[in-house]
Amino acid sequence: MGVLCLPPLFHRYNRAFFATAIPYHQLRLSWSRRMSRAAGSYRRRGGLGQITLSLPVLSPLPASATHSTLMHEMIHAWVDLVLQRREGHGPCFRAKMGEINGQDMGPTISIRHHFPVPPSPASWQARCDCCGVVTPYQRRVKGLACRACCGRFNGGCWDQRFLLRFEAPPPTGPGPEELGLGWQP
Ligand SMILES: [Zn+2]
Ligand SMILES: [Zn+2]
């Protein structure tokens, strides 16, 4: 899907399920490129509520995932700004969620967002110039040598001849998780 424009969706749902009670002027709606561990969040600074949706999590998914995440965060905004209750996923949240799901005319909302969270892309890759193996790493680590080459050519002892060289990864998609290729003396 493309990136949905949030304000029209917000207004549609605010009318349909909250009797326009959620104060739009007290709310900021935004997409985040950096939020990658959750589909959405609601927080408040002072009197201003903020709903943030994750671009990396939601953009690969069908539009319904964005709709239900926005609705979930709107319930948080309603509980916080309208009811002025501090309860997270407490009784008010659950009652409203049940009411909306019961009407069977909007997206289905759940307490947790069951969306796959893409792994964060590695910032570095470590290359062994001896055997040519390349492994992604989140950060540079000093003194890592290639475990396989140390085993093959040095009786399993760490040797600086097989130090891994850190370099920027090619600009493709995320690589596999760290494999523990390197080790330290
Ligand atoms: Zn929540
Ligand atoms: Zn090697």
Ligand nearest to the CA of 76: 1
**First-to-last C-alpha distance (Å) of the chain:** 48
* Nearest-angstrom CA–CA distance, 13 and 141: 49
β-pairing, 145-146 with 182-183? Answer: antiparallel
User: pLDDT at position 174, please?
Assistant: 36
User: Residues in the chain with pLDDT < 70?
Assistant: 1-2, 113-121, 171-185
pLDDT in tens, 153-171: 999 999 999 999 999 877 6
73 catalytic residue (yes or no)? yes
CATH of 6-103, one of 3.40.50, 3.30.2010, 2.40.50, 3.30.9: 3.30.2010
pTM given for the model: 0.63
Q: Where are the domains of the chain?
A: 6-103, 124-183
User: pLDDT at position 62, please?
Assistant: 87
User: pLDDT at position 119, please?
Assistant: 59
Q: Describe the crossing of helices 63-77 and 91-103 by its angle, rounded to 10 degrees.
A: 140
pLDDT in tens, 6-16: 999 999 999 99
- CA nearest 109: which of 69, 138, 81, 139? 69
- Token reading at 4: 């949905």
How many angstroms is it from 76 CA to the middle of ligand 1? 7
Ligand nearest to the CA of 71: 1
